[in-house]
Structure 1
């Protein structure tokens, strides 16, 4: 279950009312910082930009691959643990604008997590420590610690216990 807060709007769709919910200048600043970070090959620089200019919580030795897109409106609602890899072209959303409401939710990605390329993480989701998210996954609910998940919509492929058993059988 995703943990989001809903905000009703009246009149035009919520996206038409975007600058009533977030400052234009904040969105412009976030967009510029994210575009610079998306193309830089320097992981330490990306992490510095995210921590200091976007106020994201980013753990030690976390790696954001090329073209990753953190939320451009509410990046401060994203936290990523230590030694985590976020794969190429992944999108991490902390907001969703719908017809008559918008929703905000914190995204918490644990430590030692691997998120495969081209995945989308929706607002209000927690991904537990040591989890693996396969490429092109729509993460639409919480991922248990140590699990391997994949697909659209996301399904649990292996629980932590099943993964450990499979890995021990290989060695």
Structure 2
């Protein structure tokens, strides 16, 4: 189960009430910073922009590839450990706006994790240290440390023990 906080709405759907949940100018600023970062060829500049203006926690030597899309409304709820890779065009969400409610949840990506291109990470998910997420995966639940997962819906492909055994066989 994802770790999200749920907030009921009583009027129209929650997206129509977006600026009751997050200030308009915050969204505008975040959008501009994220667009600069998405197209920046400099990993250092991108990490600096995201740490400084979005308050994202990004570890040393972490690489967010071209076109990665952090959450526009709540980027401060995203934490990525050191020496991790987030692949091309991945979306990291910390919010969900639904018909009768909206949900917020922290996204935690551990150290030395690898997220494949075109993946989507939903709010309230933790991806453990050394985990590998295959390209195109919908991450809808926690990923244990050292595991290899993939697919839509996401499934466990190899446990940490199986991954360790495979790496020993390749040496």
The TM-score, its normalising length taken from structure 1, stands at 0.99
Which position in structure 2 is the counterpart of 1:106? 106
- Kindly state the Cα deviation for residue 169 of structure 1 after the two structures are TM-superposed: 1.2
Over the aligned positions, Cα root-mean-square deviation in angstroms equals 0.4
2:29 equivalent to 1:29: yes
The number of equivalent residue pairs is 171
How far does the alpha carbon of each residue in 1:44-84 deviate from its partner, in whole angstroms, 9 at most, with x for none? 00000010000000000000000000000000000000000
Aligned-partner Cα distance in 2 for 1:153–1:45: 34
Which position in structure 2 is the counterpart of 1:90? 90
The TM-score, its normalising length taken from structure 2, stands at 0.99
Runs of 4+, deviation exceeding 3 Å: none
Which position in structure 1 is the counterpart of 2:56? 56
Q: Which sections of structure 2, spanning at least 5 residues, go unmatched?
A: none
Q: Which sections of structure 1, spanning at least 5 residues, go unmatched?
A: none
Aligned-partner Cα distance in 1 for 2:16–2:90: 25
Which position in structure 2 is the counterpart of 1:19? 19
- Kindly state the Cα deviation for residue 166 of structure 1 after the two structures are TM-superposed: 1.1
Which position in structure 2 is the counterpart of 1:165? 165
Other structure's SS at 2:96 match? strand
